[in-house]
Structure 1
Amino acid sequence: MIIQRQRDTLLLAARTLLAALFIIMGWEKVTGFDVAVAFLKSLHIPMPAFATIIAIIAEIGGGLALLLGILTAPVALLLAIYTIICGLIGHHYWTMPAGFPEYDAHIHFYKNISIAGGLVALAVAGAGRYALTGRSKT
């Protein structure tokens, strides 16, 4: 059985690991803005520059909120939805012919689904003691 102190430490680890993905990917969009815009343009996303800015705000803002434990449950749920939508838009393997690109998109789609599952679990578990707001649901 996990005692409260271990639970809080594990929740901090979960928040840190999940946040790292969003902060890193968001920062890569900042430093490679033109590449990110070009990728969204290739997916026929309307207003790709604006969509990239929204993605940066969601990823860096949401990632930092998770890391710090600010409004963890609602942020985690919003990021879960965002992650599923990104998977549907960016990794639509079911539309691709068999081969490496389809296989790669297949893996990335289900990684997105798994990340969303972790975010939902975090939303249910709460932020834990080591958080600025949204203390543990004990």
Structure 2
Amino acid sequence: MSLGWRDAALLFARVLIALLFLGGAVQKVLNPADAMSLLAGFALPVALIWPAMLFNAAAGVALILGQWTTPVALLLAAYCGVTSVFHWLPDDPWQMTIFVKNWAIAGGCLALAVAGPGRFSVGRAVG
């Protein structure tokens, strides 16, 4: 039995997760004030938004291409865990939903890290 559907599912998973991070990069470029406000609220340098934006964009592209899937997915899982701290506001149900979603995305990234890119990747994919 062919397991081609698994490779297709991995591609779809990579693209869906990548779109989230690419969207985050675009959002940081078009409206940096919101993310800068979060950083400032934690007494962090607001300039951290730019390396975060670059990381979001580069990681998203790498996932879509299926390049460095395991290390990129592990870094994204850690990124989701770290950034979830910004949303830990127990009195705000909306922020708590985002907090939980960050951990769910981290779980998806960990699953990608274990599974690797699958058969559908560009060039020489490094797991």
The corresponding residue for 1:68 is 65
The answer (yes or no) to whether the contact 2:74–2:113 under 8 Å persists in 1 is yes
Equivalent-residue separation in structure 2 for 1:106 and 1:38 (angstroms)? 18
Q: How big is each residue's C-alpha offset from its partner over 1:64-101, in whole Å with a ceiling of 9 and x where there is no partner?
A: 1111111001000000000110002x11224xxx3xx2
The corresponding residue for 2:43 is 44
Equivalent-residue separation in structure 1 for 2:37 and 2:103 (angstroms)? 24
C-alpha deviation, 1:33, in angstroms: 2.4
C-alpha deviation, 1:111, in angstroms: 0.4
C-alpha deviation, 1:54, in angstroms: 1.3
SS of aligned partner of 2:20: helix
Question: Which amino acid in the other structure matches residue 70 of structure 2?
Answer: A
Equivalent-residue separation in structure 2 for 1:26 and 1:112 (angstroms)? 16
4+ residue runs of structure 1 moved beyond 6 angstroms?
Answer: none
The corresponding residue for 2:125 is 134
Structure 1 gaps of 5+ residues are: none
Q: How does 1:28-107 map to 2 (within 5 A)?
A: 28-45=27-44, 47-49=45-47, 51-88=48-85, 90-94=86-90, 98=91, 101=92, 103-107=93-97
C-alpha deviation, 1:44, in angstroms: 2.0
Let me know the Cα RMSD of the aligned residues: 1.7
The answer (yes or no) to whether the contact 1:58–1:79 under 8 Å persists in 2 is no
Equivalent-residue separation in structure 1 for 2:126 and 2:78 (angstroms)? 23
Equivalent-residue separation in structure 2 for 1:35 and 1:119 (angstroms)? 25
TM-score (norm 2): 0.90
The answer (yes or no) to whether the contact 1:129–1:135 under 8 Å persists in 2 is no
TM-score (norm 1): 0.84
Name which one, 1 or 2, has greater alpha-carbon Rg: 1
C-alpha deviation, 1:104, in angstroms: 1.4
